[in-house]
Every structure is written in structure tokens, then in C-alpha cells.
Amino acid sequence: MPNPVVVGVDDVAGSGAAVDWAADEARLRGARLLLVHARLWEPHRTPEHAPQGAGVGEQAVAELVERAVRRHPGLPVDSVGLDQVPRDALVALSAEGQLVVVGSRGTGGFPDLLTGSTALHVAADAVCPAVVVPGTVAYAPGTGGATGSVAVGVHGREAEEELLRFAFEAAQRRQSPLRVVHAWSYPLVGHGRAVPPVYEEGHIAAEEERLVAEVLAGWRQRYPEVAVEQDVVRSGPAKRLVALSTTSQLIVVGRRGNPDGPLGRLGSVSQAVVHHARCPVAVVPLP
């Protein structure tokens, strides 16, 4: 059997949505599901926000395992409890998994920033693709999320083989359309201001459409059963993807940020989408 889909769990209420989504994904991939409960506190967390202890945690994990099995009878489901900090445990296990899934719950008190530090850390550092699942959405069994397309944000001028492969395969598994999003803006000239008079918006838009069409030509041939829609817009990429998250079942973004930069490997666009999206977000490591 292929490598597992790994999902980090804590309490039943906070982990249910992530387990449901991960169980659906494991079934779609023909993989086993591995529930991971890491028992040590994050360095910044107070005891009331800390992961549950061994006894309580084991009971919660047992309930979540039962939940996954009820959702998909016959799905191979395993669990493991580790005396590690959750983010470190999940990043380490991402080297063995084909996907690592985390819930987005945060405890910072900001309603529009729903993503906790563990989810951000895993999304930034996981070896395999990571999926952050909002806890506010109920997932019907087998759908892998709400109905709607899979949406992927592309740059269009860089090699994005892993990103597009992940997005096309996700759409193919779900038998859903794939919306390929490419956001563009006028070049900034002098004092950070756009100076558009020398540009014709229609010409730029047409050139950007052509660029994305060229990128997708080979992929359409490889995945002829996936209906592809180009979404080339003059907008900020994070703004467009977050807007689409209200009607999409999955948003896919790439990650190639500088590990020593202020946002780490996640990058500004990916971090904004993970923070604000209303559907699951897959973050794919790029070379």
C-alpha cells in the first residue's frame, strides 16, 4: 500500500473536520490513514491551550479513529501517540507520508486569522504537500469537501511541475473541474506606483492568457478528462484565491519561499491564502 495520509489530531471537537477530510482523501488515493497525536506543548502555548495528556488524548484518538472507520468502512486506519511537539512530529512524519493534513484552528483571538501556528509551521516546512482544513466546514462523506472546482494559483513564468501535477490529480480524483488562476498587475515604476499609460490593459490581458495557455497545453493532453478553466485576472493572487475559496472544494498553492525570510518558506501569497481561505488549502513544496 502507498505511503499514508497523515493527519494531526488533538481533541475530538477541534480535529473532526481534518479527520473527515483526510479520511476522504485517503480513500480517494487508496492509501491508509494515520492519525498522529503529539502530546508535548508548543513552546508558546499556555496549559489551557496545550495538547491533551496521554489518558485524555488516547480516548480522543480512539473516538477519531472510530469516526474515520464509520465514514469509510474498510479504510485502513492507524494511530500513534508521540511525546513530541505537534509541529515537529508532523514535519518529521511528512517525510514518510504522501500528504500531511492539519486543522486550521488558532487561539490568537482574531476571527479573520483562523490558522494556528502549528498549521502554519507544517505548511511551511513539510516535506510532502500539506493541507490545512478549516474547522468551520462540514464535509459530506466521500466528497473531500464542498462541491465546486479545484483551484490552483500559478505564476505562469516559473517551472511549476509539482504544483500542476498535484492540482490535476486532485481534480481527476474528484471528477471536478480545475480552475487555473493567474493574477497579474501593471509593473510598478517609481515610488511603488503603477504607471499604466504605456500599457494597454487588453493587450496585457491577452498576453497573460496566451502565457497560461502555453503552460497548460501539455497538461491538458496528459489529463484529457479534466475540464480546465483559465482564470486570468488583474488582481492580487491571494485576494483572488481567497475569494474563490467560498465556492471551491480545494485551493492549491505552491511554496518556494526563502527559509530565512520574514515569512519563511511559505511566502506571502501562500500564507495569506492559508490564513483566510474558507475551504481546505493544499501547499505544495516547489524546488
Mean pLDDT of 114-130: 87
Does 69 have pLDDT greater than 80? yes
Cell 504544483, located at residue: 163
Q: What whole-number distance in Å separates Cα of residue 82 and Cα of residue 281?
A: 26
Is the separation of the CB atoms in 68 and 77 below 8 Å? yes
Determine if residue 14 is left, alpha or beta; phi over 0 gives left, psi from -120 to 50 gives alpha, anything else beta. Answer: alpha
What is the pLDDT, as a whole number, of residue 142?
Answer: 52
114 residue type, one letter: L
- Note the helical H segments in 5-158: 12-29, 54-71, 86-93, 117-125
pTM: 0.87
The CA–CA distances, whole Å, from 203 to 5, 154, 213, 232, 264 equal: 44, 20, 15, 13, 35
The per-residue pLDDT for 112 is 40
Average pLDDT rounded to a whole number, residues 4-29: 92
Band of pLDDT at residue 39, cut at 50, 70 and 90: confident
pLDDT surpassing 70 at residue 38:
yes
Q: Which residue has the higher pLDDT, 99 or 265?
A: 99
Only one residue has cell 512524519, namely: 93
DSSP-derived letter for residue 265 is G
Q: What is the distance between the alpha carbons of residues 286 and 274, in angstroms, rounded to a whole number? A: 17
Tell whether the model's pLDDT for residue 43 goes beyond 80: no
Q: How far apart are the first and last CA of the chain?
A: 27
Is 274:128 a contact under the CB 8 Å cutoff?
Answer: no
Q: Which residue has the higher pLDDT, 278 or 157?
A: 278
How many Å apart are CA 281 and CA 284, to the nearest integer? 10
Question: What is the SS3 string spanning 206-240?
Answer: HHHHHHHHHHHHHHHHHCCCCCEEEEEEECCHHHH
Q: Which residues pair with 184 in a beta bridge?
A: 234
What is the structure's pLDDT at 10?
A: 84
pLDDT tier at 65 (50, 70, 90 boundaries)?
very high
Mention every residue, 6+ apart, whose C-beta is less than 8 A from residue 209.
Answer: 230, 232
pLDDT tens-digit series, residues 220-262: 999 999 999 999 998 899 999 999 999 999 999 999 866 666 5
pLDDT at 25 over 80: yes
- Looking up cell 495557455, which residue turns up? 213
CA–CA dist 104, 263 (Å, integer):
18
Average pLDDT over residues 19-26: 96
What is residue 37's three-state secondary structure? strand
Predicted local distance difference test score (pLDDT) of residue 108: 38
Kindly indicate the confidence band of residue 110, based on its pLDDT and cuts at 50, 70 and 90: very low
Range in 25-34, 173-182, 210-219 the model is least confident about: 210-219
Nearest to 37 by CA among 67, 65, 1: 65
* Mean pLDDT along residues 270-278: 93
67 pLDDT above the threshold of 60: yes
- List pLDDT tens digits, range 123-182: 999 999 999 999 766 666 555 455 689 999 998 766 689 999 999 999 999 999 999 999
